[in-house]
Amino acid sequence: MISHNNISVGFTYDLKDDYLTMGFTPEQAAEFDNPETIDGLFNTLTDLGYKVDKIGNVKSLINRLVKGDRWDIVFNICEGVKGIGREAQVPAILDVYDIPYVFSDVLVLSLTLHKGLSKQIIRDCGIPTAAFFVAEKQDDLQAHMLKYPLFVKPVAEGTGKGIAPDSKVENEDDLFRVGKDRLERYGQSLLIEEFLPGREFTVGIVGTGKDAHVIGMMEVICKANEPSGIYSYMNKAHYEKFIEYVLPDADAAESCTKVALDAWKALGCRDGGRVDLRMDNAGVPHFIEVNPLAGLNPVHSDLPILARKSGISYNELIQMIMQSALQRLNLPTKVENGIIKNHQS
DSSP of 115-163: HHHHHHHHHHTT--B--EEEESSGGGGGS--PPSSEEEEETT--TTTT-
pLDDT digits (tens, 9 = 90+) for 128-166: 999 999 999 999 998 799 999 999 999 998 878 889 999
Nearest to 148 by CA among 117, 121, 171: 171
| Of 112 and 6, more confident | 112
* CB-neighbour burial class of residue 32 (10 A; exposed 0-12, middle 13-18, buried 19+): buried
Identity (one letter) of the amino acid at 263? A
Beta bridge partners, 23, equal none
**Cα dihedral 308, 312, 318, 319 in deg (nearest 10):** 170
Amino acid at 76: N
The percent of residues in the chain predicted with pLDDT above 90, rounded, is: 81
Task: List CB contacts of 167: < 8 A, sequence separation 6 or more.
Answer: 151, 152, 153, 178, 230, 232
Mean pLDDT of the chain: 92
Tell me: pLDDT of 297 over 60. yes
Tell me the C-alpha to C-alpha distance, in Å, between residue 259 and each of 12, 109, 286: 31, 20, 7
Please give the Cα distance from 74 to 52 (Å, whole number).
9
Greater confidence (238 vs 207) lies with: 207
Provide the pLDDT confidence category of residue 226 given band limits of 50, 70 and 90: confident
**Is residue 307 scored above 60 in pLDDT?**
yes
16 CA to centre of own chain: 17
pLDDT value for 235: 78
Report the candidate in 156, 159, 163 with the shortest Cα–Cα distance to residue 294: 159
Q: Does the pLDDT of residue 338 top 80, yes or no?
A: no
The per-residue pLDDT for range 187-202, each reduced to its tens digit, is: 999 999 999 999 999 9
The whole-number pLDDT of residue 35 equals: 95
pLDDT band at 183 (very low <50, low <70, confident <90, very high): very high
Q: pLDDT at position 5, please? A: 56
Write the pLDDT tens digit of every residue in 264-279.
Answer: 999 999 999 999 999 9
CB distance 229 to 215 below 8 Å: no
Residue 258: how many CB atoms within 10 A of its CB? Answer: 12
- In this prediction, residue 59 carries a pLDDT of 96
The pLDDT of residue 83 = 86
- pLDDT-derived band at 343 (thresholds 50, 70, 90) equals very low
Domains of the chain: 8-112 (3.40.50), 131-194 (3.30.1490.20), 200-326 (3.30.470.20)
Q: Are 343 and 326 in contact (CB under 8 A)?
A: yes
Residue 339 clears pLDDT 70, i.e. is over it: no
- Radius of gyration of the chain from its Cα atoms, rounded to whole angstroms: 20
Q: Tell me which residue of 146, 260, 236, 135 sits closest to 191, measured CA to CA.
A: 135
Predicted confidence (pLDDT) per residue in 80-119, tens digit: 998 889 999 999 999 999 999 999 999 999 999 999 999 9
- pTM, to two decimals: 0.91
DSSP three-state, residue 292: coil
Quote the DSSP letter at residue 334: E
Question: What is the C-alpha to C-alpha distance for residues 229 and 242, in angstroms, rounded to an integer?
Answer: 10
State the pairing for strand pair 190-194/132-135: antiparallel
In the predicted structure, residue 56 carries a pLDDT above the cut 50: yes
Quote the pLDDT of residue 340. Answer: 38
- Cis amide prior to 91 (ω within 30 degrees): no
Instruction: Return d(Cα 293, Cα 72) in angstroms, integer.
Output: 20
CA–CA gap between residue 272 and residue 103 (Å, rounded)? 6
